[in-house]
């Protein structure tokens, strides 16, 4: 494949070469560096505010309950806009959306650092969330264009490793900054990173041509209302809201969602990709993703309480004991991504969720005075299992969609992750309220159940053929180049690739 890339890059312009199968080296490495910098900042920004909330609330003279909006504004912006941004990426090009996301995230970080009131900080955090949403919405679509088709699993695995690494470093970076500087520096450090990433994206990121169709503003508004109301209602119900208010919110979200789906059925390339959801591999992989992320959220939210209250560990020990989980993901995801290019992705993902479920159930069986290593290997087993699930499953979601719909697939993957995390966190709050002292063990058990449910869904998916990988024979490239103008052969070849992929799947 590298020889093909060299032929193409030496004959055509970068824009035309971007329509083909991956970027040549070393441009591919620079592109992944820009992805690592920006995705890392987006993930870390989702965790640093949690560490600083008590300090921010105290210095601004606000209540802890009010300060929660600093976190909620960021999450709500992502939930409401990830699908509209992914659709916009399909229309105007993924690089334009991604670079706009970097600018918005960087400016939002600057405004956060300069904020002196809860209202201004909440607004700035919402702006940060919009930037992060733009990055998340087209992240994997760009990776699909950065790596050759046969190396897509590797690219997805590296992306999962970046996310896991950032999740591990987030609280540590926040604690380190707060030990030597004030809380505004938590956000100010993003500014030079954002500027550097923006410069790299100018030269490194691929620039596939968008469809150019009109953007569906009405569907974007309906999508934002549906997911914003739904996830806010579920989250509020799990955190002490009344059942009546939660039910009203969910009912309203279902009604708006019904209107949205009805509208999408008549669209050739719908913002809510109902066309992709009809594909068994795509739809079932998304359901498995929601279930597995719910299992992880159930565990990671309840584990600090379990370790401290049931096993008598300190707060510092608790943080150290949980770290093998993301470390396991860091190690397993790239390996699983590599294997996904050579082995059945369904088998790899199924093995992963079964291992994760076994790790969670074994955690419940820990004695009151468990040895440290007994906790560590169980955490690592959960992390390795999650890593072996995530990379192959994400690869299937992205590769099962036509390449020109990669943005929609990437956006749905982000929506599935956020939905699963919200469902898991709300479930923990509900379980703690209903089961009182047994809430820790119950949360871990329910989490294991979600993981096993993902395994069942993956089993159903095995009956469907796995997405194929379309390639262009090296000998056919010169003929295509000579036969048509640059823009025309790029589009013709892109269509041929999609037709071959459709035939394989």
pLDDT in tens, 297-337: 888 888 888 888 888 887 678 778 888 888 898 899 999 99
* Residues 451 and 478 both lie in one domain: no
- 447-451 average pLDDT score: 93
* Residues 359 and 422 both lie in one domain: yes
pLDDT in tens, 153-178: 899 989 888 888 887 777 778 878 88
* Residues 256 and 309 both lie in one domain: no
Beta-carbon count within 10 A of 283 CB:
19
pTM (predicted TM-score): 0.79
* Token pair for 342: 């050579």
pLDDT in tens, 244-261: 777 888 899 999 999 999
* Residues 235 and 330 both lie in one domain: no
* Token pair for 8: 């193409």
Last residue of one domain, picked from the residues 205, 234, 250: 205
* Residues 285 and 323 both lie in one domain: yes
Kindly state whether residue 271 falls inside one of the protein's structural domains. no
d(CA 65, CA 9): 55
In a 3-state reduction of DSSP, which class is residue 494? helix
Of 406, 164, 393, 137, which is closest to residue 286 (Cα–Cα)? 393
- 481 pLDDT band (50/70/90 cuts)? very low
| Total domains present in the chain | 4
* Residues 259 and 176 both lie in one domain: no
* Residues 330 and 222 both lie in one domain: no
Of 495, 504, 496, which is closest to residue 209 (Cα–Cα)? 495
pLDDT at 240 over 80: no
Kindly state whether residue 2 falls inside one of the protein's structural domains. no
* Residues 359 and 392 both lie in one domain: yes
- 66 pLDDT band (50/70/90 cuts)? confident
Kindly state whether residue 272 falls inside one of the protein's structural domains. no
* Token pair for 427: 């479930």
pLDDT at 487 over 50: no
| Token pair 């399909």: residue | 90
Kindly state whether residue 210 falls inside one of the protein's structural domains. no
| Half-sphere exposure of residue 103: CA atoms within 13 angstroms, side-chain side | 7
H-type alpha helices, 306-371 = 315-322, 324-340, 345-364
pLDDT in tens, 90-117: 999 999 999 999 999 999 999 999 998 8
Kindly state whether residue 402 falls inside one of the protein's structural domains. yes
As a whole number, the mean pLDDT across the chain is: 82
* Residues 142 and 20 both lie in one domain: yes
Domain enclosing residue 375, as ranges: 278-469
* Residues 224 and 319 both lie in one domain: no
| Token pair 């089961």: residue | 435
d(CA 104, CA 9): 32
Determine whether 139 is exposed, middle or buried from the number of CB atoms within 10 Å of its CB (0-12, 13-18, 19+): buried
pLDDT, residue 472, reads 43
Beta-carbon count within 10 A of 97 CB:
25
* Residues 75 and 151 both lie in one domain: yes
Return the CATH number at 79.
1.20.1250.20
Kindly state whether residue 273 falls inside one of the protein's structural domains. no
* Residues 248 and 360 both lie in one domain: no
């Amino acid at each position: 494949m590298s020889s093909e890339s060299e032929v193409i890059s030496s004959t055509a312009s970068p824009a035309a070469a971007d329509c083909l199968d991956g970027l040549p080296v070393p441009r591919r490495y620079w592109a992944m560096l820009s992805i690592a910098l920006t995705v890392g900042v987006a993930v870390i920004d989702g965790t640093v505010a949690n560490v600083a909330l008590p300090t921010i609330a105290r210095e601004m003279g606000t209540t802890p309950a009010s300060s929660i909006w600093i976190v909620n504004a960021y999450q709500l912006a992502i939930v409401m806009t990830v699908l509209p941004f992914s659709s916009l990426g399909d229309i105007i090009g993924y690089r334009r959306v991604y670079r706009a996301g970097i600018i918005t995230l960087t400016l939002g970080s600057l405004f956060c650092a300069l904020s002196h009131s809860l209202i201004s900080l909440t607004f700035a955090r919402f702006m940060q969330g919009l930037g992060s949403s733009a990055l998340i919405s087209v992240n994997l679509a760009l990776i699909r264009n950065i790596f050759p088709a046969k190396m897509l699993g590797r690219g997805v695995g590296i992306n999962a490793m970046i996310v896991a690494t950032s999740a591990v470093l987030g609280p540590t970076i926040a604690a380190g900054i707060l030990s030597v500087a004030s809380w505004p520096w938590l956000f100010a450090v993003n500014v030079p990173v954002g500027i550097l990433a923006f410069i790299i994206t100018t030269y490194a990121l691929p620039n596939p041509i968008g469809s150019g169709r009109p953007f569906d503003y009405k569907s974007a508004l309906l999508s934002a209302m549906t997911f914003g109301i739904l996830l806010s209602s579920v989250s509020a119900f799990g955190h002490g809201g009344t059942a009546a208010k939660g039910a009203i919110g969910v009912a309203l979200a279902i009604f708006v969602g019904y209107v949205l789906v009805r509208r999408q059925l008549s669209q050739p390339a719908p913002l809510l990709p109902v066309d992709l959801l009809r594909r068994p591999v795509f739809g079932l992989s998304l359901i498995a993703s929601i279930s597995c992320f719910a299992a992880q959220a159930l565990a990671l939210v309840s584990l600090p309480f379990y370790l401290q209250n049931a096993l008598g560990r300190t707060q510092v020990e608790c943080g150290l004991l949980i770290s093998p989980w993301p470390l396991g993901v860091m190690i397993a995801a790239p390996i699983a991504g590599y294997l996904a290019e050579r082995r059945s992705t369904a088998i790899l993902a199924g093995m992963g969720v079964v291992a994760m479920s076994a790790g969670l159930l074994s955690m419940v069986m820990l004695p009151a005075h468990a040895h440290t290593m007994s906790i560590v290997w169980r955490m690592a087993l959960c992390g390795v299992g999650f890593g072996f699930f995530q990379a192959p499953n994400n690869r299937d979601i992205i590769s099962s969609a036509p390449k020109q719909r990669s943005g929609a697939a990437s956006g749905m993957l982000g929506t599935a992750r956020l939905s699963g995390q919200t469902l898991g966190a709300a479930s923990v709050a509900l379980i703690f309220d209903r089961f009182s002292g047994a809430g820790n063990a119950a949360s871990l058990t329910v989490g294991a159940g979600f993981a096993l449910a993902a395994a069942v869904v993956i089993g159903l998916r095995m009956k469907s053929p796995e997405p194929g990988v379309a390639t262009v024979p090296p000998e056919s490239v010169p003929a295509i180049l000579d036969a048509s103008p640059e823009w025309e052969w790029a589009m013709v070849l892109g269509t041929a690739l999609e037709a071959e992929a459709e035939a394989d799947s």
